[in-house]
A and B are shown apart, each in its own frame.
Chain A
């Protein structure tokens, strides 16, 4: 997929609030790696699952309005860090391909065939890649043991995601290895964390997220690395609830991928929102020595 260095940026509502650290770290990492993010002007909520509950066309229209905003500023690639938003944007693209007239009528304008949507993981993997990333790392992790957790939607279903492997994705593994992490072979990479049932059935989240944290601990991981705001909330914000339900203590910090990469690139902690994590990162992230006089 041809990618320009300038991409349209759709943060989504979570990244303005509960996942604010995903927003700041995404912007910081992309800036450091020479990718220009152009935030869509006046973007709106993608509709998420409530819109598709009422009508798939409502979902396609709400998400489609954002794709139109990208088209107006002549950007074909829309990047969003949130897999939930990505699902909605891709749903709108699918509707554009299957029923172009119906979508154009609902939106008031046709949506160009060139516009497409990708995740921040795909952007970093395809535009930068593990090899180039490893060459710009300033503070490699020195073998920090982590598990990568992709969640449900980044690679599923394959016909929609069109990225990596739906059962055993490896893109995040490769990027984490590139910054010096030791990546355990995590068998629950794409098992569900409980998703939106956090709102109505927190017992389900406790069971499903508990299983993920338990496996991470068994594998000796010091941290989990995720790419989804909902997964992060279930595993980090609700970790104390999970611990209570299971009668155990995990104390496993749950980082966004962009926070981990940013740390290795030497970006300041406040640009990565590390203080926003509920389970503290203290003692897990290696100390970064003061910058040496540049010998290289």
Chain B
């Protein structure tokens, strides 16, 4: 469920980037305080580990389809929140650059959705209290499942909100939520079980591994937790402020338009059914039959769209199409021209 550049408005992208940058700065600062260089190569190699682990698939019980590891919670459990957050940010950055998964501007959103929630909210507030210092596999299972599910639900909800506030797709809020949350509940349950399985295996085979890394990481939970909460409150205010400004600039964008994002493999194949259902829901919830006219009236720039609004000019849309064709031809010519020219010189 990576957010994509194409679905993002600059305001939402920048706001989330600002939030992510602030958290990254905070995480780096916390790590520097405690500096034990040992953790730097470990962080990097564990980031690579997440990619490698994602290559190995497993069968989801009862379905026969295969799943892959997400990784945020495992990192938090092994490395602690600060280091885990930075590793998660790196993993997402490499995915954005090399796999074109998400995008560079959407990276802020993705780090927020998949990094901040598991590392800074769920790990200290759900996982730690639930496990305590217990080594009981059952407790670890319960804690892992609860943590992963909650982290993914928060992430999925954020994708909905980010898409909604960007206003580039037409999915209504309710339907979008209904689409996103249950899918991620299922993913979360499975990933939680897998996470618990791995942690329990590590616990039984190499218990010193979890403990030794735990010992060399900042564990002043009481104090740092409060600081984290303060940071969060500040970020929430900043985010809220920026977003509400955005919302009031485009009030119509809020009510109805949504765009969305799923991870590639995460969407069930029967999208015909979903699309049909969505359409039904949309028809029932169409408060503003004229909504597209409103927003478009405010941005009367697009050539082909313009005719629908005041000042219809029959020639405009045709001019747009012809112009686009010519520009594309020019781009091709320039590209091929340079290649031929260089080929001759070489």
Q: Do A and B bind each other?
A: no
Residues of B within 8 A of A (CB): none
Residues of A within 8 A of B (CB): none
